[in-house]
Structures are given as C-alpha cells and as structure tokens.
Structure 1
Amino acid sequence: MLSLATIRRRWASFVGTFTALCLGVTILCMTALVLTSAQPEAPERYAGTAVLVQSPAVDQSDGTFTENRPWSPERTRELVGQLGSVPGVSAAVPDRSFYAQVVIDGRPVDNPGGELRGHPWSSAALAPDKLTAGQAPTGGREVALDASLGLDPGDRVTLLTATGPAAYTVSGTVDSTSFYLPDAAAEALSPGVRVIGLVTDKGADPAAVASAAAKVVGKDGKVLHGDSVKDLEAKTAAKTRWIGLQILIAMASLTAFVSVFVVASTFAFSIVQRRREFGLLRTIGATPRQIRRMMYGESLTVGVAAGVAGVVLGSALAPVLGGLLVDGGLEPPGFTVRMQALPLLGSFALGLVVALAGVWSASRRAARIAPLEALREAALEKRPMTRWRWIGAIGFTGLGLLLVLVAAGSSSDEMINNALYAAMALIVGLTLFAPAVIPLVVKAVWWPLGRLSGATSMVARESSLTAVRRTASTAAPVLVTVGFAVLIAGMFQLRASGYALEETVSQEAVSVVTPHDTPGLSDAAVSDVADGASLLPTQLYAGGTDHIGAVGVSDGAIAKARDKMTVKSGSLDALKGDNTMIVRSSTAAWLGWTSGRTVPVTFEDGRTVQVKVVAEITDDSSTASVLLTREAVRAHSPSALTPVVYVSGKQRPDLPASLGAESMSTSEYASRTDAEDDRLVQIFLVILIGMSLGYTCLAIANTLMMATADRAEDFGVLRLSGATRRQVLRIVAAESALSVGIGTGLGLSIALIALLGMRSGLSSQLGTEVHLNLPWSTMLVTIGLCLALALASSVLPARMALRRTGARAAL
C-alpha cells in the first residue's frame, strides 16, 4: 500500500522509469516476435518439386556460409540416371546456377544482391516456370528471360556472364526473373551441381520416393522433402539472415542493458531526493528490509504497468519492424510476423526482471539511511564516492578500454560485438566515476569565468558543486550518449577505411576498377585494364567436410605482392599452370600439407585434381588460405567474378558502361561502402546509436525533470532574495548547459583517446597512415539534441514551478 501511495504522490519521478521500461518491453517484444518468425525459407525455384537431393554439406563452424561440396558432371550424370529409375520419379533434373545479367541500353540491368539467375532450361520444371511467349532455348546462343524486361521472342540482347558480354537471341519469355539457357550451355558455365530435383509421377508418395532416393544417394548427399526443403536456402540468404539476427540480438541486449541503466539511475537519484523521507520511516520503526521491500514494490508496480503497455505496443509494431527488415534486405520478400504467446509472455517477464534488477542497488542504499537523516537539512553530499564505487568505476572503465583495444584488432564480425561490449563497460565505469570527476571539472570551467560573471554564474556554480549527485546524474547520460555515439560511429568508419586501404596498399595501387551495377567484374572487364592486378576468389574442398578459401592470382598481382610475402619453404616462382598452389602455414598445418607434396583437391566444378604444394608462406603474407593461378580457377569455376582490379598506372582506365565496371582513386575506394555487408553494418550502426541516443536522452530528461520539480523551495528562496524570474531561469539553464558541457567534454575525450589508439594499431598493421575522420554529423546532432533536451527538461518545469503560488507558500 505504501508503494502505491508513493507512486501516486511522486508520479512525476516514475514517468521516466515507466517510459524506459515500456520502450524496453516494446523492443523486446518486437524483436522476439520477429526472431521466432524468421525461419529459413525454401527457394521459390523449387516450389513445384516435392523431393530434392542436395550435395554433401561442408563444415560451417568458421562462419563463412560456404555452399555445399558440388558433384562433378560425371557423378551428376550417374546420379541422375539412378534417381530417374526410382519408382514414382518421372524425371531427375540437375539444377545449375551461374551468373547472368542482361544489358539494355548499354548498361547492365540492376541485379540486387548478386543473385545467380542463370539456369538450364530443363530446371524450369522444378519451379515450375512457364513460357509466356515463344519457345524453349535450344541453340547455344538462345535465352529465355523475364517477360517484364520488355523483350520479345526474336529480339537480340546482350547477356553479361563471367567471361564478358555476348549477343543472344531471345527464344521466349518466362514469368520469373531467371535466365534460361540450353542445358549444354548452362553446363559449360556451371559444371558442378549441388541440387537434383525429382519430378514425381501424379499420385506418388513423396515420403516413399524420398526414402528410395536416400538409398540411392547414400552418404553422397541428402534427400529433402517437406519442411527439410528449407535447407536449400542459399548461403548468401542465410548469411544475410544471420546478420539480421545479430542486429535483433544486439537490439534486445542493448535494450535490456540501457533499461537497467535508466531505471537504476532514476532510483539512485530518487534516493538523494527522498533521504529525509527514508530517515523518517526509519525513525518511526521501519526496518531496512521493509525499506527494500517498499522500493521493490514501487519498481514492480511500475514494471507491471509498463510491461502490459509494452507488450501491446510491441505486438502492434512487430509487423512494422518486419517490413523494415525486408526493405533493408535482412529478410526475404514475403516475410511476415506471426503472433505467438511465448514471445509476448517472455517479454513481459523480462521487463519485470529488468525493473527489479534496476532497483537492486538503490534499495540497498536506501536501507542504509540512518533515522537521524530525517533531521538533516544540508544538501551537500558527504560521500559522493564510496569504496565499492571506486572499485567498480576503475574495474569497468579498465575493462571498457581493454575491449576497445580488442575491438581494434578484431575481424569485422567480432568487432561489432566487442565494440558493443566496450561501450557497455564504459557506460558503467564512467557513470560510476562521475561524482568524483565532475566537481573538479566544474571548478576548472568556472575558475576563469568567476571574476567576469555576476551573481547568476556564482549561484549556478555553487549549486552544481553542492548538489554533486544532481550534476553527476545529469552529466553522466550526456557523457554516455556522446561518448557511445562518437566512439561506435568512429570505430566503424575507421575500420571500414582500414580494410579498403589494406587491399590497396598490399597491391600498391594508384587507382582501382570496381563493379558498377554488377556483383563482380567479368574477364572482359579485367582484360581491358592495363597494369592491373586482380584476384579471382573460389572455394576448394579437401577431405570430408573441410573447405578452404582460395584465390586465383594474376601475374601482376603475384609480382607486386612477392616482396611482402615471407616464404617458409618452396618457391613462389613455381606457381604455374593448373596444378600448383601456394599455401599459408596455418592451412598447411591444419591439413597436413607440406611443400613438394601433391594432394587431392576438389574444385567448384566438383572435379578432384592432384595439386602440388610449391610453397608455404606465413599467415601474414596473404589473407587467402591458398593461392592458385588465375587460369586454374577459371578452368574449374567458369562463373567466378573478380571483385576488384588494382591499377598501378597513373592513368585511370576508361571502360565501356556495358562491362559493368567503373574506375576510381584508392582514396575513393577506401571511403566507399557499396558492398552489401557494409550496407548492413551501417544499418546495424544506425540502430545501435539510435537506441543509445533514445534511452540516454530519456535519462537526461527524466533526471532534470525530477530535479527541477524537487527544487520549488529553492526557487522560492531565490525569488525572496531578490532574484527575478528571468534570473532564476538563467541559473537553471546555466546549470543544465554546464552539465551537458561537462558530459560532452568527458565523452569526447574518452572516444577520441580510443579512436586514436585504434588508428595507431591499424597504421602499424597496414604499414601506412590511416586517417581518422571524426563523425562530425553524428557528433553535432548528438550534442545539439542533448543540449536542447536538457534545457527543455529543466527550464520549462522551473518556469511552471515559479508560477505556482504553492512554492512560495511553502516558505
């Protein structure tokens, strides 16, 4: 009952807590509903096929989302013959996928996400895709393509493949986005096969067919039917979904953390305001345990109300979040959010846990207040920093700085999590340090202005020094907001530039040629670049489920990189022909390969070839595990695309638009974030900074509104002392601006130190200067928002308090 009475009496003090918990439960509910709804989807290309056979899976523990090991053309023909004779199967159809993109009006038609849309005509039966006009392609230079492109049968069209642009005749149009070539032409572009679809007889039992097919395939694949067809989801789609999952998990984690932070800071500040109240309760016989129970009751009451409101809002907004993820490419088209009871109940329960966790520390402090505190009138804090607060402040700040250093040397995926953990640790550590640091800063700021300012400045200064916890409680969220936003934005920006510079520096490039409206560069685009060095990525498969990332290097690339390579054994000059390779030392140790040994390696066409290890290099000599000749990769992977060409000549290449390539300087390349992963990282960044801004701004507003509402008597004293209303409001505004300035300065200092350390590490790692470009737009918007919110949350309540006659009557 006492908890309910306190909430009714001090409802303004609980508005921030209620809002923080309500928003927290809303976001938790939204993310939980989306997470439980986000499941792998079977590709639409196989919508008309009940039973499919998938090639052997590979180990995915390295997080590279590598496609399954392909069958060779010879093994594919053998399996097709055996599966075609299974009872109930009318046809076994091998499906091949390869890069194909149409060129219209001299430019490639945009291909979002780089989806492989080229397929053999026979696989159209698996969808099934129907002809809308014309006939099936039969000749080597015929194609059936999407009717929405506006082309008619008989038209001539340029089709861009991995080898370059070529003229084709439109044999027919279909009702899908695929490009269908004759089976023989498709096999030339994609010899390896990963999926064989079984077209069943009418009335055949899919389960019986699947069982019989499994006996045929044995351990050389996996038979899928029913829900298991979802396993055919493309690895690129699975990776995108995984990145979306990381965003949702980060949203939920940050929400829970910052909700606890806001609730804890609110209750901690309320302890200072209610010190005499708790002392009076102790005087009339209340035990420390009863004080704790009362505060838990207050938090639980607010938590229940906020939880109910949050679940309602989360249920309503979850479809909106799902739509945004679809628009951002983090979920496939057609994704819908399904309402389920478990995520709703879990979000509500977690909201209560957050509420109770946030009040835990404050309730312990309240229980330690002595009865004599009821007689205390002074506002001066006796011990703003306790021993345990010092220990916690040093520990968490040190941990945060350590995680910043760890994040600087992490991979792109690990850096996201490490940066988030670093920010969380710094939030806690710097918030705990605030009461000790802020008085020193206040004195330093006001000392040069003390002799030039009047009574207003003096009152603002002394008020800030006397009410250390109020100043600290206001400055700490600003410190957190500015520091977190600038640090995270700067780290992502610096790291992105570093990755691009690492590539250009390693190749000593003056300019680069990159894809434009295409997922990669064709051989025609690469060959048109003089003085160019390029890498052609591929995958190798060795022994069971092992797979190795490899690149085919051009003569120019190996010539420019050889001075930076450290050879442990063998010779780089021996890399020639189709059956030699250079291996990193860690890969050689893992697979048991040594220089001079010939080992079996399976390529992207499914064929296993004996390849000789001609050299072993140190791990820091190459980012790829295996180096092959470019000709070897092209011979076994006809649809592989080149990601970039590094040009050493001073003159930029001038390439025709039909090749889907563009030239730019290395600095332009370093600052660009056109790749899909970079775009998703930017989404991740916006979400993290946006959420941190929202919550910490809420803490700023809540603390100032609570503080201002509790200072009505102080304002009355100032008015009786002769201060005008305008002077009182200027004092309040000066205090708020001072708090924002202190928090901004400390936050920027921490962020700048961390970013400079990160820049130094990247420069040492790359052997060249990495420039630090501060995120000025993020910084200015954040500071301006904090200042505007602080002034509005303090001046407006103060103005209302001055108008109330009750404030003066209380004197």
Structure 2
Amino acid sequence: MLSVALRTLRARWTGFVGSFVALALGVALLTVMGLALAATVDAPDRAPERFAAAPLVVRGADTLRVATPIGDRTQPLAEPRALPATTVAELRRLGRVTPDRSFAVRVPGGPGDLVGHPWSVAAFAPYENVSGRAPRTADEVVVSGSWTRPGRRLDTDRGSVTVVGTVTDRGFEHAVFYTDARAARLAPRSTQLVVDADVTAVRNAVRDVPGVRVLTGDGRRYADPDPDRDRAALTALNALFGTAGGVTGFVSVFVVASTFAFAVAQRRREFGLLRTAGATPGQLRRTVLAEALLVGVVASAAGCVLGGYGAPVLVRRTVDSGLAPAWFRIPGQARPHEWPSAWPSTWTHAWPHAWPPSWPHAWPYCAAFATGLLVALCGALAASWRAGRTGPMAALREADVDNRPMTRPRWAFGAGLLLTAAVLLFLGTPGDLLHRKTYVTRPMLLITGVALLAPVVVRPLTRLLTWAPARLPGAGGLLVREHTAAAVRRTAAVAAPVLVTVALTGSLLGTTATLNAARAAEVRDRTAADFVVTPPGGDGFDAETVRALRAVPGAEVSASAGSAVYVLEDGVALIRSGARAADPAALAATARLPLAAGRTADLDDGSIIVNEEWARHTVGERVRVWLGDGTERTLRIAAVLRTGTGDNGVYVTPANAAGAAVDRVDAALRDGADPAAVAAGLRAALGERGGRVRTADRWIAAVSPGTDRTTRLGFLLVLGIALLYTGISLVNTMVMATAERTRELALLRLAGATRGQALRLVGAEALTVVAVGALLGLLAAGLDLAGIAAALRLQSAPAPVRLPWPALGAAVTACALLAVTAAVVPAARTLRHSTPAPG
C-alpha cells in the first residue's frame, strides 16, 4: 500500500496540494502558539528599582495570612498597615528614617503615568540631577526625564507648580518630586520607611510587630510599585496565548479535517474504478491512510519549520502592541533590542538561535507535529471508511451527485456535540457561563456541531437563497440552484471556513459586547445620585474635604471608600471580595442596591451586606471575615445583593474599613434644591484641593465597563490569527472545488454558454456558498449568545443580545471577495486552456 500511495502522490500531486497547504499552515499556527506559550513559563529576575541604593526598607504588613487544614492561605491586603508610631520612634533612635510616599499626578499633555514622591527618596534610586535645583517651596517640583524643562509652570490636579529641576530618566517611572512637607500633605499615610541603620538592630526593633518585613539586597524590589508585575504579565500572556492556542488549534483541526475529507471525497470516481478492478475495501482504506500519512509527515515537518520562523514575529508584534513587556521573547531567541529592523532579516536571524531546541523548549514542535499527523489520519479515516464501504457501481453512480452526504457517524457526532453544548449551557451555573474561558471555548462545540450537520440544511438553504434568482429570465439562476444543491459535500466543505469565520467573530465580539451592556445597565440602575464627585489622581479625599462637601446646601451627600473583605470558604479557600464603605442612611439616599433580601438601612458597624455568590448569604447569619487591613471580625449579614454580572461586591460601614480613603462622593438633590447651585457648591467645596464634579449621566458614561485594551487586543490577536487561517483555507478549498469542475465547465461551453456566462455562473455559485456559510455561522453565534442572554437573566442582569454587525459584515465581505476570486481565476484559466471545440 505504501508503494501505491507513493505512486499516487507522484502522479496526482496537484490533488494533494490543498491538503498539504491546509495542514502545514495549521501545524505552523500550533507551533507558534506553543512556542509563545512556552515563553510564558519564567519571568526574568528583576533587581530593585526605586530603592536600589537604599540601605534597607521596612515595610508595614501588606499580606493577610490565614491558617487552614491544608496550609496557610494568603491574599494581599487592600489597606496595608503603617508601622506603629512607637516602632517608628524606636527606628529613629537607630538611624536616619525616611518615609516613602507615592501618589498619582495628572498633567495635561504630560505622561499619563506620572507619580509623585517626596524629594528625600530620590537619592535611593538613585536619581541624578540633570539641570536646575531641588524643590524648596510647596509649589516647586523636580521631574524625571526630558518631557518638560526648568522654569515651566504646570497645572496639575494637585495644584499649579513650577518645575525647578530635572533628573535622569530611570526607565521604570515618570516621577514628580515635591518637598517632603508638601508630599506629606498630599499623601499623609506612609506604609514603608527607608532606614539607615544596622540591619540586625532594625530586625530586633520590629520583630514584635506582626507582618512587618525588613527588605535588604534583592528583596528591596518588593518595596517597588507592583513588584510582581512581571509575574502578572506572564500570567496574562499565558491566558492570552492559551486562549489563542485553543482557538487556533480548534480552527486548524476543523479546517484540516474538512479539507482532507473533501480531498478524499473528490476521488469517488477513482475509488469506484479501483473497486471495479478488484480492489477490496480494506485496500482502499489502507491506501488512503498511507497517502494521508505521507502528506501528514511532510506537511507537519514543514509547518514546524514555518512556525519556528513565525514565532519571533508574533512576539515582536505582541511587544510592540504593549501586550507583553519589553523583555518577553521566545526561549533561545534574540531579545527585542537585538531584533533587526527588517522583517526578512528577523526571520533569518531568529531561527539559528532556537534550533536545535532543548527538550523544555522542544515540546511545542513535538505537540504540533503529532497533532498535525493525527488530524491528517483522522481526516482521511472518516472519508476512506465511507469510500471503502461503497460498492463498485454505487461508487460510480454517486461520483457526480451527493445522494447520501450524511453518514451515521456524522449524524452521531454532530448531534452529540450540539447536545453536549446544550447540557453545558443548562447544567452549568450562570456565573460559570459568563467566565471568559467558558464563553471562549463553548462556541467551538456549537461550530463543530453545526458544521457536521450542515449537509442536512445545505440543500433547502441553497434552494431558499436561490429561489428568486431561479425565477429570473435565463438559466443562470436555475443552474446556480441546481449545482449548489446537488453538490452538497462541495458546498458544505467550501462553506465550512466561512462558518468558522462568522461564528467566531459573532460569538467572541458579541459576547463581550453583551456583557459590557449588562454591566453598564447595572451601573445605571445602582446610581440614584444626581452628581458624583471624584478626587484628583484617584487617591482619595481628606477628611476636611469630605466635611466641606457634606456642608453644601441642598445636597444629600454619601462619601464612600473602596476596600476589600476576605472570607474563608469551605475552610480552605481565602476569597477576596471588593467592598465599599459608606454610611447606611446616606447610601440609601444615593444608591439603589439590587437587593435579593434584607434592607440597606439595617447595615451597621456590626453587620455586612454580601452577595449571592458568597457560600453563606442568609440574612441574620453571622460570618467570619477579615477586613481590608487584615483585622478579623465576625459580622451579621444585614442584606444580600443579587449576583448580577459579578460586579456587585459587599458593603460595610466606615468603621470596618479603617485606612480606606474616600474615593467617591455621591450627591443627591434634596426637595426643591437647584441643581446648578448644588453643582457650584460642590465645586467651591473642593477649592484648591482638586477633584471633579460630574452629573450622574456623565459619570456613568465615563465609568461604564468596557472591554479593556489588553482584552480587546487579545481578542483581536485570537480572531486575527484564526480568521487569517480560515481565509487562506477558504481560498484553498475553493481552488480545490473549482479544479474538479473542468469537465463541467467544458460541457457548459459545449451547451452554448459564453466564457463570460460561465465565469458569472461560477462567481454566483461562490457567493451562494458564502451566504450558506454566513447563515450557518450566524446560527451558531446566535445559539451561543442566546445562552449568554439566558445566563444574564438568571443572574438578574438582563441585557439585549449585541451582535457585532460591522465586524460580521466585514468578515462576510472578505470571505465573499476571497471566494469569488479563488473560484473565478482558476475557472478562467480552465476555460482558456481546456475548453473543447464544439462538435
């Protein structure tokens, strides 16, 4: 059988090009995703940044640690604790103590990530003076970098200041240095100190204070802002490339299997002749499998090589778009600053660094190669089994017309996948259905199920789409209807890439749009205030500002602070829930909480409002919790919020959120109050402290949840890779389908059709097939989004289904252009070179 397969491949190599291309591209995609995923395993060791020259740093308790039967569980505290005053005094006796403070600063036209510090900590980076002098008064600052110059006046959200000096840009932040006294007023609370003293004496001074850490050497990096950002970035990239790998793996397996099955189905006449010549069904199956094995080995190897060249290109684009940090690279590849600027030289310089890969980095190649080979064999197996079971004369009869496009296994698998998707939809909890991993993977079951059952509806669907054209004068519409309806397998195979394209676009983008609409509706429903006041830089209002806002005539003011509450569920899971601390009476006047049980007015210092996601959520029940600063309390449940989309957190009183700064003030109009006068009073109360007063509608529009940049770019990456591949596969399949129609096109010319009429017929058939695929893709996407809408209703957060019509229109248009081009160009070549003469 192997020798027969080799001869067949050599004699009919053009018939296997489509399968080879589809498989090689699929394996290349899997290799690229695997290499990118392997690169997310380890982050580089990061040295201290802000405190690289500091002798040591004493950091207050910033971690909650709770003992459980299976070990300690930890969570970062929402409100890290400052060192006690007595401990700070003792440290001052040991040596020089410098409090560290950080706060956001906003300057129109300046960098968006400006952060303020006291001037005394600049020496610990160390920052070196470039020009000017140190700040001496409250309205003087020194900035890092070259984005401004000494002498310039800046209008910041912290007040107007004058730049009196600049320091070197250290690369990890854009800093603004104030005098120590001014920084202390802007950020009164300090949770870490730089101490110039003997480390042993410092450790002895703080050993009785729970949670305090003395950071020296490389440990000083934990005093930097977001010290675990590299690990967090790798976690995000792991999720991104894991999702992209899953989606592209599904798309490539789906398309490759469809292409292989179609390629084998095109050879029904050949199989019929072999059966007539005496070949047994087993011989046919072994021949087809041997051919698939040979094509699979060569194509998979080519795909691995192509993927090795493509992975650094993907990494470069990921870094350039801001999805990955600058140090991210494929293991063994050149670092980003070593990349050549020209793409071809990037390819030629990247591969030698990675080949031959060591085993920890070789698994993506092995996995992609094995997957490609397995898909090739499975794709050929199903079709070869059907060809082997067909008798000689039956095979010849069904060579031109698909009388039985659906086999029993296809019925079983298609129905099984749709049933599995339905079971997962109705048996899973509503909250699980809204998780990204679920709503990204669930469409795959629906798409595959709809594609497997597509031949059932292809014939009636094509007749419906061509009903009107078939009744027009001339035979064109009638021929389009009969050709597409008769060749069910060909129509289904060509429509498959369109189905995947439309279904993935509609499902992924439609789900995020629907969830965002539901979350925005929740924000509107929860807000009963007329005005919302927010602080400068997002740091919080001081007590004096809050008192001034509460004194505004005609306004019912509710000041709230963001914090967190921790609960130990099932005795082993330490769960963090976002919390807001507010006065119950004022909260009831300015907010409409989505209560499932209880009353907002029942909240007091000994109680808490939880949501239905908590394991214990019965009004009156007592729960053991840890507050944002780590304090352990047992609180009574005063009310229960509906789950919603997951953004309904918990509520406590300010007494249970010590250290949390007021970051939002809601103001509702009292009866008869003038809105303009209240707004003016709120702005006057802010004075020079800074802040922003907005109407509730404008604030809701500004904070309404949307798809963040990272998630949006991640989805575009996933969709871009998947849709690029399906587009190539669409062209590949269309060329294969047109190539087998040489005799049919010649007969059309013999029947009197002109070359232009034949080409228009081919183009119209291609458009019809694209329409079939688009409708099936919309069906799959609609089923998926219906599940999302049902889950939202069960979560008490109903929202209309949002289909991304512009994106869908662009996808269908692109598919139509590709399909028509891929059908008409080969047909034109065929008609020009192989049309027989009449007679």
Residue identity in the other structure for 1:252: G
Matching residue of 1:24? 29
Q: 1:508-547 CA deviation, whole Å, 9 max, x = no partner?
A: 456766789x557757699499566564212357899775
Q: How far apart are the structure 2 equivalents of 1:63 and 1:495?
A: 32
Matching residue of 1:119? 117
Q: Is the 8 A contact 1:585 1:618 kept in 2?
A: yes
Matching residue of 1:353? 370
Q: How far apart are the structure 1 equivalents of 2:441 and 2:625?
A: 43
Matching residue of 1:474? 494
CA-based RMSD of the aligned residues comes to 4.8
Matching residue of 2:18? 13
**How much does 1:551 deviate?**
1.0
**How much does 1:792 deviate?**
0.7
Cα distance change of structure 1 residues 306 and 630 upon mapping to structure 2, 3 Å threshold: same
Cα distance change of structure 1 residues 261 and 77 upon mapping to structure 2, 3 Å threshold: same
Q: 1:599-629 CA deviation, whole Å, 9 max, x = no partner?
A: 896655x8x5x97847522242895654234
Q: 1:750-808 CA deviation, whole Å, 9 max, x = no partner?
A: 434543554465467557x7444432211210111111111011111111111123x64
Cα distance change of structure 1 residues 120 and 502 upon mapping to structure 2, 3 Å threshold: same
Match of 1:582 among 589, 599, 608: 608
Q: How far apart are the structure 2 equivalents of 1:428 and 1:62?
A: 44
Residue identity in the other structure for 1:130: E
Match of 1:179 among 157, 162, 176: 176
Please state whether the residue corresponding to 2:829 is helix, strand or coil: helix
Q: Is the 8 A contact 2:411 2:452 kept in 1?
A: yes
| Residue segments in structure 2 that go unaligned for 5+ positions in a row | 334-353
Q: How far apart are the structure 1 equivalents of 2:463 and 2:74?
A: 54
Match of 2:317 among 292, 311, 321: 321
Q: How far apart are the structure 2 equivalents of 1:79 and 1:200?
A: 13
Q: Which moved more, 1:661-670 or 1:740-749?
A: 661-670
Cα distance change of structure 1 residues 366 and 465 upon mapping to structure 2, 3 Å threshold: same
1:74 paired with 2:103, answer no
Q: Is the 8 A contact 1:66 1:235 kept in 2?
A: no
Cα distance change of structure 1 residues 269 and 560 upon mapping to structure 2, 3 Å threshold: same
Match of 1:310 among 293, 307, 311: 307
Matching residue of 2:348? none
Match of 2:785 among 751, 755, 761: 755
Match of 1:779 among 808, 828, 832: 808
Cα distance change of structure 1 residues 464 and 100 upon mapping to structure 2, 3 Å threshold: closer
**How much does 1:362 deviate?**
2.5
1:387 paired with 2:408, answer yes
Q: Is the 8 A contact 2:260 2:376 kept in 1?
A: yes
Q: Percent identity?
A: 26
Cα distance change of structure 1 residues 602 and 561 upon mapping to structure 2, 3 Å threshold: closer
**How much does 1:188 deviate?**
6.2
Q: Is the 8 A contact 2:789 2:801 kept in 1?
A: yes
Cα distance change of structure 1 residues 284 and 686 upon mapping to structure 2, 3 Å threshold: same
Matching residue of 2:347? none
**How much does 1:299 deviate?**
1.3
Please state whether the residue corresponding to 1:549 is helix, strand or coil: strand
1:684 paired with 2:709, answer no
TM-score calculated relative to the size of structure 2: 0.77
* 1:96-135 paired onto structure 2 within 5 Å: 96-97=101-102, 99-103=103-107, 107=108, 109=110, 111-112=112-113, 117-133=115-131
**How much does 1:267 deviate?**
0.2
Please state whether the residue corresponding to 1:73 is helix, strand or coil: coil
Match of 1:641 among 650, 660, 663: 663
Residue identity in the other structure for 2:249: A
Q: Is the 8 A contact 1:190 1:637 kept in 2?
A: no
Matching residue of 2:345? none
Q: 1:421-450 CA deviation, whole Å, 9 max, x = no partner?
A: 122111211110111111121233334543
Q: Is the 8 A contact 2:233 2:325 kept in 1?
A: no
Q: 1:156-195 CA deviation, whole Å, 9 max, x = no partner?
A: 76654xxxx4566767543352234455665666566655
**How much does 1:270 deviate?**
0.6
Cα distance change of structure 1 residues 667 and 540 upon mapping to structure 2, 3 Å threshold: closer
Q: Is the 8 A contact 2:528 2:589 kept in 1?
A: no
Match of 1:443 among 433, 457, 463: 463
**How much does 1:118 deviate?**
3.1
* 1:728-747 paired onto structure 2 within 5 Å: 728-747=758-777
Q: How far apart are the structure 2 equivalents of 1:673 and 1:457?
A: 50
Cα distance change of structure 1 residues 660 and 51 upon mapping to structure 2, 3 Å threshold: same
- Alignment coverage as a number of residue pairs: 769
Please state whether the residue corresponding to 1:551 is helix, strand or coil: strand
Cα distance change of structure 1 residues 100 and 585 upon mapping to structure 2, 3 Å threshold: closer
**How much does 1:729 deviate?**
1.3
Matching residue of 1:617? 639
Q: How far apart are the structure 1 equivalents of 2:426 and 2:697?
A: 27
Q: How far apart are the structure 1 equivalents of 2:87 and 2:155?
A: 31
Please state whether the residue corresponding to 2:63 is helix, strand or coil: coil
Match of 2:293 among 291, 296, 319: 296
Q: How far apart are the structure 1 equivalents of 2:218 and 2:702?
A: 46
**How much does 1:678 deviate?**
2.1
Q: 1:250-303 CA deviation, whole Å, 9 max, x = no partner?
A: 112212221111211110101111234445566457363453233122111111
* 1:761-800 paired onto structure 2 within 5 Å: 762=792, 765-766=795-796, 770-800=799-829
Q: Is the 8 A contact 1:482 1:747 kept in 2?
A: yes
Q: Is the 8 A contact 2:33 2:241 kept in 1?
A: no
Residue identity in the other structure for 1:496: N
**How much does 1:17 deviate?**
1.4
Q: How far apart are the structure 2 equivalents of 1:538 and 1:687?
A: 34
**How much does 1:196 deviate?**
5.4
Q: Which moved more, 1:486-495 or 1:73-82?
A: 73-82
**How much does 1:486 deviate?**
1.8
Cα distance change of structure 1 residues 39 and 502 upon mapping to structure 2, 3 Å threshold: farther
Q: Which moved more, 1:135-144 or 1:714-723?
A: 135-144
Q: How far apart are the structure 2 equivalents of 1:240 and 1:466?
A: 53
